[in-house]
């Protein structure tokens, strides 16, 4: 009997077709995974340049000064009576941030909907953000805090983060899209985030609760608000169960999704937020004060920042042009009026002058200068 009769051939062809179909599915899945991996690995490096720094401003143990470059994932910390202005080099929109005293700021990017997005993280403190120009059509920018994500197109706004992560966003000009952030979800494996019905439902709920803040409006998202969502949706119990022992992604998804069935409401709803996110008005006087401060955050043209020499020159020109404004800022931060230190060499240095032992420290608009007592002739106002 011929093994390759019509019936056998049909069975063989069917088997080959099925195997080939599975092969195509696997290939498609692999291509999709590679697409995501490529988006992550091919992202452009984000860097910032210090435009102005006063006081105790550090990153990775080094004291920062005007012209210093900050790389992606670097953390800037400002001490008491300190401040730092930083511009993002890669954006043409002129994004400048001002970190005030006792702030912690990390330069980061995130892949949001397959798009690499500058997403600096404010862990604590008070930061002003000025996006002076318009972002490109395919360009996004957001600020992340422990409890909040604020997406912008072009605007002036302030972010105030307390020690527990509670965040207040205040908009002085333009508009900001603000929503609650659950870091606990972001820490889950990618597959769990993409396939867990509970996680997907929670994210959809938070998207639906997004608030668009207009000029003159503010909102506060407290740590207790995010804790409430974690508890009310069943995520808290699910996380505890997962942490009892190491689980694979499938087991994690199963544990989390079982919480939907256990939930008496059956479906997630915005009532689980437990407290309405209220948009409030900023007092007119406060708004005017903020707008005046934002006017000091002047961005340098992107092309002038492409080389270190041109960037140094551009920063120097900016400081000279705004000497009066910078002088007042230094006086406010240090609590000392400007004086002139006269050196024996004939040189005169104007700034806030401090003496510690036999050393003089002068904080000027271009940075701090240090002189020994035997170099100094005298002082004048």
Residue 283 covered by a domain = no
Q: How far is residue 214's CA from residue 177's CA, in Å, rounded to a whole number?
A: 9
Instruction: Record the tokens describing residue 330, joined without a space.
Output: 């230094």
CA angle 335, 345, 379 (to 5 degrees): 30
Q: How far is residue 57's CA from residue 320's CA, in Å, rounded to a whole number?
A: 22
Question: How high is the pLDDT of residue 14?
Answer: 54
Sign of the C-alpha dihedral computed for residues 40, 44, 45 and 48 taken in this order? negative
Number of domains within the chain: 2
Q: Which of 267, 329, 251 is nearest to 297 (CA)?
A: 329
| Mean pLDDT score across all residues of the chain | 86
Residue 259 covered by a domain = no
Top-confidence range, 16-30, 80-94, 240-254: 80-94
Residue 33 covered by a domain = yes
- Per mean pLDDT, which range of 7-16, 22-31, 227-236 is the poorest? 22-31
Instruction: Record the tokens describing residue 356, joined without a space.
Output: 């510690």
Residue 123 covered by a domain = no
Question: How high is the pLDDT of residue 269?
Answer: 56
Residue 370, sorted as left (phi over 0), alpha (psi -120 to 50) or beta, turns out to be: beta
Residue 82 covered by a domain = no
Q: Which of 166, 175, 149 is nearest to 222 (CA)?
A: 166
Largest CA distance in the chain: 116
pLDDT single digits (tens) 277-335: 789 999 999 999 999 999 999 999 999 999 999 999 999 999 999 999 999 999 999 99
Q: How far is residue 38's CA from residue 57's CA, in Å, rounded to a whole number?
A: 35
Residue 134 covered by a domain = no
Residue 334 covered by a domain = yes
What is residue 5's DSSP assignment? S
| CATH number assigned to the domain comprising residue 352 | 2.30.30.100
pLDDT single digits (tens) 207-246: 988 999 999 999 999 999 999 889 888 888 888 888 877 6
Across-strand partners of 145? Answer: none
pLDDT single digits (tens) 90-144: 999 999 999 999 999 999 998 877 788 899 999 999 999 999 988 888 888 999 9
Instruction: Identify the domain containing residue 335 by its residue range.
Output: 322-380
Question: How high is the pLDDT of residue 13?
Answer: 54
Question: How high is the pLDDT of residue 44?
Answer: 54
Of 199 and 139, more confident: 199
Residue 21 covered by a domain = yes
Instruction: Record the tokens describing residue 323, joined without a space.
Output: 């000497």
Q: How far is residue 248's CA from residue 5's CA, in Å, rounded to a whole number?
A: 48
pLDDT single digits (tens) 28-69: 444 444 444 444 444 458 999 999 999 999 998 899 999 999
Question: How high is the pLDDT of residue 301?
Answer: 95
Instruction: Name the residue with tokens 């409430």.
Output: 228
């Amino acid at each position: 009997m011929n093994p390759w009769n019509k019936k056998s051939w049909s069975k063989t062809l069917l088997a080959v077709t099925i195997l080939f179909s599975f092969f195509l599915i696997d290939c498609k899945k692999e291509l999709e995974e590679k697409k995501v991996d490529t988006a992550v690995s091919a992202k452009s490096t984000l860097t910032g340049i210090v435009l102005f720094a006063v006081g105790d401003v550090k990153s990775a143990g080094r004291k920062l000064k005007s012209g210093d470059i900050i790389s992606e994932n670097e953390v800037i910390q400002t001490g008491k009576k300190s401040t730092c202005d930083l511009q993002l080099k890669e954006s043409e929109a002129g994004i400048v941030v001002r970190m005030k005293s006792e702030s912690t700021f990390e330069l980061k990017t995130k892949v949001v909907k397959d798009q690499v997005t500058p997403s600096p993280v404010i862990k604590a403190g008070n930061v002003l953000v000025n996006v002076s120009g318009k972002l490109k059509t395919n360009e996004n920018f957001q600020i992340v805090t422990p409890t909040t994500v604020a997406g912008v197109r072009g605007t002036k706004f302030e972010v105030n983060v307390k020690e527990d992560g509670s965040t207040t966003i205040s908009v002085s000009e333009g508009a900001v899209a603000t929503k609650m952030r659950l870091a606990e979800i972001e820490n889950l494996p990618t597959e769990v985030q993409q396939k867990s019905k509970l996680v997907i439902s929670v994210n959809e709920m938070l998207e639906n609760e997004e608030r668009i803040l207009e000029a003159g409006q503010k909102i506060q998202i407290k740590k207790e608000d995010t804790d409430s969502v974690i508890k009310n949706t069943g995520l808290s119990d699910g996380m505890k169960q997962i942490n009892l022992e190491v689980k694979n992604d499938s087991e994690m998804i199963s544990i989390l999704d079982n919480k939907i069935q256990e939930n008496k409401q059956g479906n997630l709803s915005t009532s689980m937020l437990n407290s309405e996110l209220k948009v409030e008005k900023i007092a007119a006087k406060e708004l005017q004060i903020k707008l005046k401060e934002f006017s000091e955050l002047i961005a340098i043209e992107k092309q002038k920042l492409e080389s270190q020499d041109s960037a140094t020159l551009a920063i120097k020109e900016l400081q000279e042009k705004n000497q009066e404004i910078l002088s007042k800022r230094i006086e406010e931060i240090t609590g000392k009026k400007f004086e002139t230190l006269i050196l024996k060499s004939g040189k005169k240095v104007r700034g806030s002058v401090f003496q510690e032992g036999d050393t003089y420290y002068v904080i000027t608009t271009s940075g701090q200068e240090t002189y020994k007592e035997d170099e100094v002739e005298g002082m004048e106002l």
